[in-house]
């Protein structure tokens, strides 16, 4: 099978491409490097000893998508391309709505045109908003607390309508929790182009002495230590979830949503202290005001993904922290 991966040079995308190649899929990547780097493509080849086709450009551009689909017999698509920072989305909502929804519409229209109707969509646990109970299950009410989450929720709605309109479509909506870590080789990992949007890149920058101190956004949440609790998942476990999703959508039509998480919640301080302990480094921190759009706690019930996809997370938080630091040390 030949899989088109939009945003395939990004953090989750690159790790998924590695697992696709390791599982003998053919891969075509499209990426505009808005939040990734060209060197990642060489790193993927070094890890896998396999090649793939690459197109540089924006998924919103239908002429580029036409070129890709005309030049390749695409069997299925994994759609990562999109802006992903909660805080930035609060400040720039129109940018998020325009890019994330437009890119998905352009992609789906092109897929329809070329009769490619198998899609894995990179969604997010933000579609659950501020959940009334934990752990979160796929049938919980959906709502959002920020524009980034809203784009994911609206796109899920678009894809559900698409599948309802045409029963040839087969779509997996993968609701990620909080991916961290890196490939064990240290060749690929989380390395954003601009100001980091997630916690782990800040932790490693402080450990690496690029930043003096980590800012923790709020310690007055209703959690064991007052800091936000999240379900952190190793990015390689997450990538393997996409392999299972591809297998699922090739066997049946319709649309399904699946939580990809560990089912365990760790606070910000848990993560900071674990990182310090397993890597023997100091991570000084200070408490600052809460961040707009954040919620107190969020962790998954991943049992449906295990039942339906045959997938479950294997790596623990120690390994996530070790691999994240190993990537930074190898790429200083």
Mean pLDDT of 29-56: 97
Nearest to 16 by CA among 48, 64, 56, 58: 48
The torsion angles phi and psi of 307, rounded to 5 degrees, stand at -70, -45
Q: Is 111 left (phi over 0), alpha (psi -120 to 50) or beta?
A: alpha
Query: 55, 148, 176, 221: which one is catalytic?
Result: 148
Burial class (CB in 10 A: 0-12, 13-18, 19+), 48: middle
Whole-number Å distance between alpha carbons of 133 and 223: 13
Residues sharing a CB contact under 8 Å with residue 242, sequence separation 6 or more, in sequence order: 16, 19, 20, 78, 120, 174
232 an active-site residue? no
pLDDT grade, residue 253 (50/70/90)? very high
Nearest to 221 by CA among 299, 140, 149, 291: 291
Q: What is the pLDDT of residue 197?
A: 72
Domains of the chain, with CATH numbers? 2-180+232-261+303-314 (3.40.50.720)
**Does the pLDDT value for residue 191 go beyond 90?**
no
pLDDT, the chain, mean: 96
CA distances from 312 to 15, 215, 248, 298 (A): 17, 32, 15, 18
**Does the pLDDT value for residue 196 go beyond 90?**
no
Q: What is the pLDDT of residue 292?
A: 73
**pLDDT digits 0-9 by tens, 68-105:** 999 999 999 999 999 998 888 999 999 999 999 999 99
Percent of the chain at pLDDT above 90?
92
Q: What is the pLDDT of residue 288?
A: 96
Beta bridge partners of 288: 217
**Does the pLDDT value for residue 195 go beyond 70?**
no
Alpha helices, DSSP H, located in 23-145: 39-48, 62-71, 86-91, 93-96, 102-113
Contact criterion met (CB below 8 Å) for 77 and 6:
yes
**pLDDT digits 0-9 by tens, 276-296:** 999 999 999 999 999 876 889
CA distances from 170 to 138, 159, 176, 256, 283 (A): 18, 10, 19, 9, 45
How does DSSP assign 276-310, residue by residue? HHHHT----EEEEPPPTT--SEE-B--HHHHHHH-
* pTM for the model: 0.96
Whole-number Å distance between alpha carbons of 94 and 89: 8
Q: What is the pLDDT of residue 63?
A: 98
Which H or E run includes 160? helix 147-165
**Does the pLDDT value for residue 312 go beyond 70?**
yes
Using the structure block, give the residue that is written with the tokens 């060489």. 42
């Amino acid at each position: 099978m030949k899989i088109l991966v939009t945003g395939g040079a990004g953090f989750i995308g690159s790790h998924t491409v590695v697992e696709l190649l390791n599982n003998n899929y053919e891969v075509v990547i499209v990426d505009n490097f808005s939040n990734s780097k060209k060197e990642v493509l060489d790193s993927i080849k070094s890890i896998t000893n396999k090649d793939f086709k690459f197109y540089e450009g924006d998924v919103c551009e239908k002429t580029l998508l036409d070129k890709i689909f005309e030049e390749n017999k695409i069997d299925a698509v994994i759609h990562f391309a999109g802006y992903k920072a909660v805080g930035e989305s609060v400040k720039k909502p129109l940018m998020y709505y325009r890019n994330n929804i437009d890119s998905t519409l352009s992609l789906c229209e092109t897929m329809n045109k070329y009769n490619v109707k198998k899609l894995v969509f990179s969604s997010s646990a933000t579609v659950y908003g501020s959940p009334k109970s934990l752990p979160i299950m796929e049938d919980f009410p959906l709502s959002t607390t920020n524009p980034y989450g809203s784009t994911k929720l609206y796109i899920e709605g678009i894809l559900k309508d698409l599948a309802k309109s045409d029963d040839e479509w087969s779509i997996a909506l993968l609701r990620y929790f909080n991916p961290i870590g890196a490939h064990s080789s240290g060749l690929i990992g989380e390395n954003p182009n601009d100001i980091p949007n997630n916690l782990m890149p800040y932790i490693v920058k402080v450990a690496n002495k690029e930043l003096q101190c980590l800012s923790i956004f709020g310690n007055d949440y209703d959690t064991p230590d007052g800091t936000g609790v999240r379900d952190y998942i190793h990015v390689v476990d997450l990538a393997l979830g996409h392999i299972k999703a591809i297998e699922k959508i090739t066997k049946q039509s319709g649309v399904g949503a699946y939580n990809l998480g560990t089912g365990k919640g760790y606070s910000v301080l848990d993560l900071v202290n674990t990182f310090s302990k397993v890597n023997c480094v100091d991570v000084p921190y200070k408490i600052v005001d809460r961040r707009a759009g954040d919620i107190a706690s969020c962790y998954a019930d991943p049992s449906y993904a295990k039942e339906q996809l045959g997938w479950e997370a294997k790596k623990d938080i120690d390994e996530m922290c070790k691999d994240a630091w190993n990537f930074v040390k190898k790429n200083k």
